[in-house]
Structure 1
Amino acid sequence: MNNGTDMVRIAVFSDVHGNLPALEAVLNDIEKRGIQQKFCLGDLVDFAPWGNEVIEKIRDLNIPCLMGNHDERIAFNIPVIPLSKHSEEETEARFVAIDHSKKNITETNKKFLSELPFHLKLNYKVGGRHWNIQLVHSSLWSNDTYLYETESDELFSDMLKESQSDIIVMGHTHLSFKKYLKTTGWAVNCGSVGRSKEDNRLASYLILTMNEKEIFPEIVQIAYPIEETALAIEESAIPDYYAAFLRNENISVL
């Protein structure tokens, strides 16, 4: 991408997980700020009941989107493997929720998910400076790797060097962070739109502002009608476990 203006702003979001009210709140906030270019890091489906509607909104708005691990599982009917970090209760709920998506996501929407790219590299020219932005779902090497702020600087520096980028933006963990590495650049997690694991449960996304001298990441967290989503989960075949999680009712989801 090439742009000769003095300043460029883009929005990046991830991990909607079928939560249409949260997605609409984020898109409205982006629009109010006058940001035209939007990118999604994937995981459109699972855990809230509007998987088809979320996919169709992303598609209809022509928002470039990556293939998250949940998108891949639904698109290709990949078996669910229990994770050791999950409790027995969460494991059972996870199986039911993913099976619900496999049965209810339309074939047209599964095809859309199957054709999403794994990575996306952006290049913006702002004034006389080129900025390279690497978008991934979870890492350069996998869409199912959990990288947290506590990871070593060396790990993030290696990704920045390998991708030859000034900033790498990821999602997947549902926990936002910004980490500046002096010699290599920024590692940023934009958090989750629809299934935040942060205590406030707000919908989270990233604004990147670029000028000729710097690239600046800002994590934005906004309220949305959480109770609307929680009630819709309870009225669906999706386990109530996830409604309780959204309400932050002393449930830990890893």
Structure 2
Amino acid sequence: MKAIISDLHSNIEALEAVFDDIDRLGIKDVYCLGDIIGYGPNPIECLKLVRERCKLVITGNHDRAIYDKESCESFNVRASKAIKWTIEQLEEIPDALDYLRNLPEVAEIDGIMCVHASPLDPIREYVTPQYAIEKRRLALLFEHVPNFCFVGHTHIPGVFTDRLTFNPPEKLFSNLYMLDPGNEKALINVGSVGQPRDSKVDACYVTFDGDSVVFRRVPYAKEKTRGKILGIPALDDFLGNRLLAGR
């Protein structure tokens, strides 16, 4: 059994709660699909914990923005200010920039592709549920998925299939998706640990046993994280308030 996490966004309360849940399940192998930092108040603690606990880590757009200024060009003002503040905090970790700079864009777990954003654009593309309505772009994506692909980035968990459908976790039986190699391709968004945006406020991640994927929700001390954000002038209050709304 493996655990796959993504989009932690410097939320140590959520990350610790998820690792506690992973430990209760007896899972040893944890994989991270990027965006360790950005938005939240505890980049140092999150980066240290990921380095201690994760077997594999790939890069996200916020991770890249720490050392690549061009990556910030598409960021809104809130995100850009948070990145500037995060860069200052990470100066306490001497090799932080080197670590983030050396994270891969693409990796595999048991032969399954893993990227932060999408198979065509591993760093930036937002594969949203709208793709299942417009369909053309989703069909193009599946031309580049050999069988299954794990992604994050949108903070919206669920399963896209090559039948050009999208199923959020609550529409899956027991939050479980059974892999069906040879009959159905799937792009699986594992959701966000640190900043869910699907109107759910609990941290989200998935477990994977080779045959199935289970979406898990974990409560955490959201008010504590929000309070930290509101106490840091460089972090917009919206970034704290959104944690209580799941948006």
Q: TM-score, normalised by structure 2?
A: 0.82
* Counterpart in the other structure of 2:112: 133
Distance 2:151 2:86 in 1: 24
Q: 1:109 aligns with which of 96, 100, 107?
A: 96
Matches of residues 57-76 of structure 1 in structure 2 within 5 Å? 57-76=49-68
**Identity of counterpart residues, as a percentage?**
24
Aligned residue-pair number: 222
Which structure has the bigger radius of gyration?
Answer: 1
**Partner of 1:120: helix, strand, or coil?**
strand
AA aligned to 2:186 is W
**Displacement, 1:136?**
0.7
**Displacement, 1:68?**
0.2
Q: 1:92 aligns with which of 77, 83, 89?
A: 77
Give per-residue Cα distances to partners, 1:177-233, cap 9 Å, x unaligned: 1234464422210110001112122100011122xxxx2221111111001100111
**Displacement, 1:65?**
0.6
Alignment of 1:18 with 2:10, yes or no, is: yes
Distance 1:178 1:29 in 2: 22
Give per-residue Cα distances to partners, 1:53-83, cap 9 Å, x unaligned: 1111111224311100010011334463256
Give per-residue Cα distances to partners, 1:122-172, cap 9 Å, x unaligned: 22xxxxxxxx311110112321100023324665565455342x3111000
The answer to whether the Cα contact below 8 Å between 2:158 and 2:188 also exists between their aligned partners in 1 is: yes
Are residues 156 and 31 of structure 1, via their aligned partners in 2, closer, same or farther at CA, if it must alter by over 3 Å?
Answer: farther
Give per-residue Cα distances to partners, 1:14-46, cap 9 Å, x unaligned: 000000110111111111111221100000111
* Counterpart in the other structure of 1:240: 237
Q: Which runs of 5+ in 2 are unaligned?
A: 164-182
* Counterpart in the other structure of 2:196: 196
The answer to whether the Cα contact below 8 Å between 1:156 and 1:187 also exists between their aligned partners in 2 is: no
The answer to whether the Cα contact below 8 Å between 1:161 and 1:184 also exists between their aligned partners in 2 is: no
The answer to whether the Cα contact below 8 Å between 1:138 and 1:146 also exists between their aligned partners in 2 is: yes
Distance 2:154 2:227 in 1: 24
Are residues 63 and 108 of structure 1, via their aligned partners in 2, closer, same or farther at CA, if it must alter by over 3 Å?
Answer: same
Q: 1:162 aligns with which of 124, 132, 144?
A: 144
Q: TM-score, normalised by structure 1?
A: 0.80
Q: 1:217 aligns with which of 202, 213, 226?
A: 213
**Displacement, 1:93?**
2.4
* Counterpart in the other structure of 2:179: none
* Counterpart in the other structure of 2:152: 171
Give the aligned CA root-mean-square deviation in angstroms: 2.1
Distance 1:22 1:205 in 2: 11
